[in-house]
Structure 1
Amino acid sequence: MKITRIEAIPFAIPYAKPLHFASGEVHTAEHVLIRITTDDGLTGVAEAPPRPFTYGETQGGIIAVVDGIFAPALLGLDLMEREQIHARLARTVGNPTAKSAIDMAIWDAMGQALGYSVTELLGGYTDRMRVSHMLGFDAPAAMVAEAERMRETYGISTFKVKVGRRPFQLDTAVVRALREHFGDTIELYVDGNRGWSASESARAMHEMADLGLALAEELCPADDVLGRRWLVQQLEVPFVADESAATPAEVTRELLGGAATAISIKTARTGFTTSRRVHHLAEGLGVEVVMGNQIDGQLGSLASVAFGSAFELTSRRAGELSNFLDMSDDLLAEPLEIRGGELIARTGPGLGAVIDPDKLARYRQD
């Protein structure tokens, strides 16, 4: 099971509807397909979705670091040498999405070699997760209409509302419109992508105190150390650290420093290996976890549900698994389906992902 080839294939698929949030906007999924081949003919795949405005990675940067640094460092290693692989990737600073896609493709190939799904290899707690859908910036009526469509079409009843605009009343009006329209039949939480200051966040959360929010995520920057702690201390809902806590060390810092009381795990930025370490850390510290989304395509969402369904803690809350619905197409030969508000992890060895060669040929950019 030795690694003989690592490919980084750029592809671009337009979004049917642009996504808008406090840290930027996305019109096209300019992602990278990572494909790892072994000497016994196995092929593992994963998706690397760069987010330049969050982690500084670009499509070209991912290809360059994979081709120029990571592939030469890993070729010849056995799939089971996971700690050696992790150590060699860790020698390079940053590049979380590139590292994570390589890690997940290795787990995919390893599952195929051993005859187990990735979910089974990781923990095998369940085979499905409830789905949370992200609502990007728009007018209240439009966001209510989108939520209604998601509930009627896919049975989704948990919604993450992007906030962080100024004035903050633009966003509090949206959340209030959603609650008034749906009543208590849906679960709501907000994500600011660091768009507000601590004082703006406190005022906004005070205005929404009667709306029964489940969580608040990254309302203000973690770099505003004292302001963030001051904010978290007065909230009555868990405060989720997302982009401010992408590594186990950062998770420890944010939680023990009082800057967060819950954690978002995104397999797109921590793969399966580091995501598992973050999960165990959160479990040991007794904090809640949300499975987040890096605006993944179907392959990335398949990886998220594979990990999230593997553990009791990560499957407890609805996972952010529906962003692929906003894409005009995808690469999987067998598309994912959300039914009854749930997404089921694929059975069979590895991730159960088969790339459609015709679609890859259509959308690849090299």
Structure 2
Amino acid sequence: MKISRVEAIPYSIPYRKPLRFASGEVHAAEHVLVRVHTDDGVVGVADAPPRPFTYGETQGSVISVVEGIFAPAVVGLTLWERESMHGRLGRTVGNPAARSALDMAVWDALGRSVDQPVSTLLGGWTDRMRVSHMLGFDEPAAMVAEATRMREVHGITTFKVKVGRHPHQLDTAVVRALREGLGDDVELYVDGNRGWSASEAAQAMAEMADLGLLFAEELCPADDVLSRRWLVQQCPVPFIADESAVTPADVTREILGGSATAVSIKVARTGFTTSRRTHHLCEGLGLEVVMGNQIDGQLGSMCTVAFGSAFELTSRRAGELSNFLDMSDDLLTEPLEIRGGELVVRPGAGLGVEIDADKLEHYRQDR
């Protein structure tokens, strides 16, 4: 069960339509598939979705750090030596998606080696999660139509609404249109991706006070320290720290400093090992947690549901698990299906998924 080799394979799959939000626009899933090989023939897989406009990573940087720094640091370790691995990878700052994909691929390989699901190894609380769907920037009617289709086809009743453009001309109108078009039996929350100022956010939240919002996420930049604390003090719903709370230390700073009251955990940027640390911290502090999405494909979404379903706290709320529906294709041999508004953990060892070799060959970019 020793790690013998690590691969980093770039690939690109177009989206059916561009995904637009305050911090950027994405036209294709330009990800990196990370594969961890062991000396007894087991192969663990995970996905690294770079977000250059959020964390500074690109396909090229992920490949470079995985092949040049991370792989030499872990080759020769056993799959059980995850804390040693965590320490070695932690010597290199930044590179969250690259580090996380390697960590999750090791967990997948471990699960395959001992013939147990990763979700069981992590905690095994349940085998499924409710799904939240992200609605990117568009005209109000188009966003209502998309949400309606998601409810009718997939049974999804929780929606994360991207805001952060013009709070009084468009954003609040979109959220109001969604509430009026979908009714009171759906859950809505907003994510500003740091696009508003604190004063804009405060006025927008006041305008939407009658819409029954579930959360507000990263409405203004974390660097606006005092104004953000001022905003959170008057925010009528839990304020989620996302990009501002990547590590457990970040969570401690944001929560104790009064800059947030809830946390988004994204395994694509903290893997399973660090995400578990963050979960335990949030549980101890009594915080609400949402499982977030880093514009993941199906492999990344399965990683999220494997972790989120493993603990009571992370399975309470709908997780952001549906972004793969916006992709024109994917790499798994058996596509994921959202039914009745839920995504279920795959049976079988590890993550329970396999990569389609022909599709990988078609979409990979290093040939």
The residue number in structure 1 matching 2:135 is: 135
Moved more, 286-295 or 159-168: 159-168
Indicate whether 1:4 and 2:8 are aligned. Answer: no
Q: Secondary structure of 1:36's match?
A: strand
What does residue range 230-309 of structure 1 map to in structure 2 within 5 Å?
230-309=230-309
Summarize deviations over 1:243-271 as a string: whole Å, max 9, x none: 00000000000000000000000000000
Matched with 1:350 is: 350
Quick one: distance in 2 between partners of 1:313 and 1:169?
37
User: Contact conserved, 2:30 with 2:50, CA < 8 A, in 1?
Assistant: yes
Q: Give yes or no for contact 1:15–1:328 (8 Å, CA) kept in 2.
A: yes
Distance 2:39 2:364 in 1: 25
Which residue of structure 2 lines up, in the alignment, with residue 336 of structure 1? 336
Q: Does 1:174 align with 2:168?
A: no
Q: Is the 8 A contact 1:232 1:260 kept in 2?
A: yes
What's the counterpart of residue 37 of structure 1? 37
Deviation string, structure 1 residues 280-320 (Cα, Å, up to 9, x no partner):
00000000000000000000000000000000000000000
**What is the Cα deviation at residue 235 of structure 1?**
1.0
CA contact (8 A) 2:167 2:204 kept: no
2:104 aligns with: 104
Letter in 1 for 2:255: L
Q: Relative to 1, partners in 2 of residues 1:167 and 1:204: Cα closer, same or farther, differing over 3 Å?
A: closer
Equivalent in the alignment of 1:18: 18
Verify: 1:217 aligned to 2:217, yes or no: yes
- Give the whole-Å Cα distance in 2 for the aligned partners of 1:124 and 1:147: 31
CA contact (8 A) 1:169 1:204 kept: no
Pairwise CA distance, 1:4 = 0.3
CA deviations on 1:23-62 (whole Å, 9 max, x unpaired) are 0000010000000000011000000000000000000000
- TM-score for the superposition, normalised by structure 1: 0.99
Question: Secondary structure at the residue paired with 1:185?
Answer: coil
Does the 8 A contact of 2:167 with 2:201 survive in 1?
no
Tell me the CA shift for residue 99 of structure 1. 0.2
Alpha-carbon separation, structure 2, partners of 1:155 and 1:187: 13
Shift of the alpha carbon at 1:236?
A: 1.3
| Whole-angstrom distance in 2 between the partners of 1:321 and 1:306 | 11
Identity of matched residues, %: 78
Shift of 1:167: 4.6
CA deviation digits over 1:138-164, x for unaligned, max 9? 000000000000000000000000000
Distance 1:354 1:180 in 2: 42
Measured in 2, the distance between the counterparts of 1:237 and 1:110 equals: 40
**Counterpart-to-counterpart distance in 2, 1:359 and 1:181:** 39
By how many angstroms is 1:166 displaced?
2.4
- Tell me the residue number matched to 2:79: 79
Q: Which amino acid in 2 is paired with 1:138?
A: D
Q: Distance in 2 between matches of 1:326 and 1:168?
A: 28
User: Corresponding residue for 1:365?
Assistant: 365
Unaligned runs of 5+ in 1: none
Does residue 95 (structure 1) correspond to residue 95 (structure 2)? The answer is yes
Which amino acid in structure 2 is aligned with residue 212 of structure 1?
Answer: G
The amino acid that maps onto 1:210 is D
Secondary structure (helix, strand or coil) at the match of 1:236 reads: coil
Are 1:10 and 1:33, in contact at CA under 8 Å, matched by a contact in 2? yes
- Is residue 130–residue 341 contact of structure 2 (8 Å, CA) maintained in 1? yes
Per the alignment, in what secondary structure is the counterpart of residue 209 of structure 2?
coil
Q: Which moved more, 1:111-120 or 1:261-270?
A: 111-120
Could you tell me the TM-score, scaled by structure 2's length? 0.99
Q: Which runs of 5+ in 2 are unaligned?
A: none
Q: Which residue of 2 aligns with 1:226?
A: 226
Equivalent residues, number: 366
